Amino acid sequence: MRARMVQKLAEGGISNARVLAAVNAVERHRFVDSALVNQAYEDTSLPIGLGQTISKPSVVARMIELLLAAPGAAGGRLGRVLEIGTGCGYQAAVLSQVASEVYSIERLRGLHERARENLRTFRLPNVHLLFGDGMAGFAKGAPYAGIIAAAGGEAVPATWTDQLAEGGRIVAPMVMANRQQALVIVEKEAGRLKQTILETVHFVPLKSGIA
């Protein structure tokens, strides 16, 4: 079922071999409730509790492929990555396959604990789970070659761009003037920020604070 899902991702336009291999390596069914296991390899978002969802496999693959296309991703592999919104831990596990180090921050304690439990069996030494306010980023781990967000706000926080390495890239949803979210790439080149707006997406709202 997982191989079939990966094949569909390739047919749907995901062409980066590293991304396809990473998605194939991570058992998505381990990150969803037992009642939803039969839907784990469908291209759909699923509830994970506390009003949050696990993103569609196609969206996870698309965002990670965009990160790997950054000028600073030498040889198609990323250095240190910051993930905003750990959720159930699935995307962090996929990121661990393509990045040297992953710092993943979650503002909801219930989800942070759930992700820790989900990831324990995978034994990923390069994944560091943090409980805190994702809008503040994680300065101790900066600078980051890539920052990826699973929630969308009115703008990309300045804390994220400050923590982005030269040649690095942020991939995040952002609320546009029409109140819909679009996927946005922010790149840092020679100290300047360049923003590119891509397709419409639907993520939970970006919020500050912890709960």
| Residues marked as catalytic | 55
- Can you say whether the dihedral through the CA atoms of 95, 97, 98, 102 is positive or negative? positive
Q: Whole-angstrom Cα distance, residue 26 to residue 163? A: 28
Q: Which tokens hold the place of 151?
A: 């929630």
| Length of the chain (residues) | 211
Distance CA 3, CA 82 (A): 28
Torsion of CA 204, 8, 127, 83, to 10 degrees: -30
For 192-195, which contacts have Cβ atoms below 8 Å and span 24 or more sequence positions?
Answer: 193/161, 195/156
Residue type at 145? A
